[in-house]
């Protein structure tokens, strides 16, 4: 298949194994985002695709071609770095056209591609400027532009937005998604920010300690996290995990613990029946708490509110459910006063259960 494939790729630096064994197929035209805490090996993986790091073992295929031992410039890739890595002594136009000039493309073609890319990124007025005379956002665009003019088969991004302020970052996210639509190229994007992953990815690859934890669409990984790591990493504020126990009472299965007793939803009945253990970890997403019961699935929970944060139409609560610290995001409208202790409601149909020992989802 074309696209990008990693087959049993591993990477060690001396005795330190960063990537033990990683396999992944990325379809042509797909936007794949690697996400995980810093130090988990995302950049290393990306740099192996780029050819900036040699694999210790395994195989890398780009567009049906085994490129495992091929030099970066012969891999038909373009890469955007976190620091932008612009050439400080060249102006914007020279920065963007450097690769084409090295490849000795005809002058007319270089100018045309430069014009199109500068137009797309609204860089035309700045073509004569040096990077040091540009703002952070503009430099970022130049870095993008430098890869766009290449029209490479694969675009690689290593945390390209993390040096921008929050507002610029969110608008660049949108632009990147648009860019992907326009260029229709395979893109591999690395970030530690799950929001970037959720908003841009066709597929998300969640990594931890060099291992892939889960691969799936944003919807998949949010709705059906495979283990506690994915469950807590994806979603903001993050999911609360509480030790709990399964019990049967009059045909209904309950998951209960200190200070709560919630019915297990139909979605999980089968899994719960098959579970060998009664000790489980209960996962509650903050956004599934509400001030009032909206459906039959909502169950009352008593919360002791320690801090409530006003965030517009919702409020984030740092609260206690029995002895357990939890986070709740309660939608109450912008007019509401800060929330206090009381009975709140949890949508039990959205609860998650994990095997306490294996940390895998039930």
Partner 1 sequence: MTAELPAPVAKPRFESGFLTPYAFITPALLVMLGGLLYPVIMAFYLSFYDWEIGRDLEDAPFVGMTNFARMMTDPQVWEVLWVTIRFGFWTITIEMTLGVALALLLEKPIRGASVFRTIFILPLMVSPVVVGLIWRYLFDARIGWINYYLGAWFGIEPQVWLGDAQLAFFAIVFTDIWQWTPFIFIIVIAGLQALPSEVVEASTIDGANWYQQIFLVKLPMIKSILVIALLMRLIDVFRGMEVMLIMTGGGPGRSTELLSLHIYNRAFETQQLGYASAISVLLIAIVFGISTLILTMANPMKSRADV
Binding site for partner 1 (CB under 8 A): 50, 52, 72-73, 77-79, 81-89, 98-99, 102-103, 131-132, 146, 150
The least distance separating ligand ADP from the CB of residue 105, rounded to whole angstroms, comes to: 33
By CB under 5 A, what part of segment 19-58 binds Mg ion? 43
By CB under 5 A, what part of segment 234-263 binds Mg ion? none
d(C-alpha 199, C-alpha 103), whole Å: 35
Question: Shortest Cβ contact with ligand ADP: which residue?
Answer: 43
> Which of partner 1, Mg ion, ligand ADP, none sits in contact with 70, Cβ below 5 to 8 A by type?
none
At 274, list the tokens.
């098959």
Q: In 104-192, which residue ranges form alpha helices assigned H by DSSP? A: 107-120, 136-148, 166-183
> Smaller CB distance to Mg ion: residue 115 or 192?
192
> What is the residue whose two structure tokens read 């270089």?
110
The least distance separating partner 1 from the CB of residue 186, rounded to whole angstroms, comes to: 16
- Tell me which residues touch ligand ADP (CB under 6 A): 13, 16, 18, 36, 38-44
The least distance separating Mg ion from the CB of residue 190, rounded to whole angstroms, comes to: 6
> Smaller CB distance to partner 1: residue 139 or 226?
139
> Smaller CB distance to ligand ADP: residue 47 or 146?
47
Q: Please classify residue 250 by burial: count the beta carbons closer than 10 Å to its beta carbon, then call 0-12 exposed, 13-18 middle and 19+ buried.
A: exposed
> Smaller CB distance to ligand ADP: residue 42 or 113?
42
> Which of ligand ADP, partner 1, Mg ion, none sits in contact with 16, Cβ below 5 to 8 A by type?
ligand ADP
User: Any bridge partners for residue 297, and if so which?
Assistant: none
Q: Is residue 95 part of the contact set for Mg ion (CB under 5 A)?
A: no
At 305, list the tokens.
């509110």
d(C-alpha 290, C-alpha 329), whole Å: 8
> Smaller CB distance to partner 1: residue 98 or 310?
98
The least distance separating Mg ion from the CB of residue 23, rounded to whole angstroms, comes to: 20
> Smaller CB distance to partner 1: residue 78 or 268?
78
The least distance separating ligand ADP from the CB of residue 15, rounded to whole angstroms, comes to: 10
User: In the sheet that 314-321 helps form, which strands lie side by side, from edge to edge?
Assistant: 289-290, 342-347, 298-311, 314-321, 324-331
The least distance separating Mg ion from the CB of residue 42, rounded to whole angstroms, comes to: 5
Please say whether the beta carbons of 179 and 148 come within 8 A. Answer: yes
Q: Is residue 97 part of the contact set for Mg ion (CB under 5 A)?
A: no
The least distance separating partner 1 from the CB of residue 79, rounded to whole angstroms, comes to: 5
d(C-alpha 102, C-alpha 129), whole Å: 21
User: Any bridge partners for residue 246, and if so which?
Assistant: 255
d(C-alpha 132, C-alpha 142), whole Å: 12
At 35, list the tokens.
């996400």
> What is the residue whose two structure tokens read 């489980």?
280
d(C-alpha 132, C-alpha 5), whole Å: 38
> Smaller CB distance to ligand ADP: residue 40 or 264?
40
> Smaller CB distance to ligand ADP: residue 115 or 208?
208
Q: Please classify residue 292 by burial: count the beta carbons closer than 10 Å to its beta carbon, then call 0-12 exposed, 13-18 middle and 19+ buried.
A: exposed
The least distance separating partner 1 from the CB of residue 276, rounded to whole angstroms, comes to: 50
Q: Is residue 327 part of the contact set for Mg ion (CB under 5 A)?
A: no
d(C-alpha 60, C-alpha 146), whole Å: 24
Neighbouring C-beta atoms of residue 297, cutoff 10 Å: 17
Interacting residues with Mg ion (CB under 5 A): 43
């Amino acid at each position: 298949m074309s696209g990008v494939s990693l087959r049993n790729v591993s990477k060690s630096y001396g005795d330190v194994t960063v990537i033990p064994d990683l396999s992944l197929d990325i379809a042509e035209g797909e936007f794949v985002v690697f996400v995980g805490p810093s130090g988990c090996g995302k950049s290393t993986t990306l740099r192996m695709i780029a050819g900036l790091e040699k694999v210790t073992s395994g195989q890398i295929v780009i567009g049906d071609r085994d490129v495992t031992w091929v030099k970066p410039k012969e891999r038909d890739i373009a890469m955007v770095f976190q620091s932008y890595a612009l050439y400080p002594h060249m102006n914007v136009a020279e920065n963007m056209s450097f690769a084409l000039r090295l490849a000795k493309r005809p002058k007319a073609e270089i100018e045309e591609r430069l014009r199109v890319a500068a137009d797309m990124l609204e860089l035309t007025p700045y073509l004569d400027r040096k990077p040091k005379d540009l703002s952070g956002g503009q430099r970022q665009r130049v870095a993008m532009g430098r890869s766009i003019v290449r029209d490479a088969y694969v675009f690689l991004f290593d945390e390209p937005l993390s040096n921008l302020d929050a507002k610029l970052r969110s608008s660049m996210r949108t632009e990147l998604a648009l860019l992907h639509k326009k260029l229709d190229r395979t893109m591999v994007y690395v970030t530690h920010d799950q929001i970037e992953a959720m908003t841009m990815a066709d597929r998300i690859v969640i990594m931890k300690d060099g291992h892939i934890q889960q691969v799936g669409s944003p919807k998949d990984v949010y709705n059906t996290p495979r283990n506690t790591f994915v469950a807590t990493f994806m979603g903001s504020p993050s999911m609360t995990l509480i030790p709990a126990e399964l019990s049967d009472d009059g045909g209904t299965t309950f998951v209960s613990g200190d200070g709560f007793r919630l019915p297990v939803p139909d979605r999980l009945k089968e899994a719960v029946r098959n579970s060998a253990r009664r000790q489980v970890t209960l996962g509650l997403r903050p956004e599934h708490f509400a001030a009032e019961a909206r459906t039959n699935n909502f169950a009352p929970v008593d919360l002791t509110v320690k801090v409530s944060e006003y965030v517009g139409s919702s409020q984030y609560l740092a609260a206690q459910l029995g002895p357990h610290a939890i986070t709740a995001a309660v939608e109450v409208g912008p007019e509401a006063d800060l929330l206090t202790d009381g009975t709140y409601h949890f949508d039990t149909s959205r609860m998650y259960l994990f095997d306490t020992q294996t940390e895998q989802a039930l």
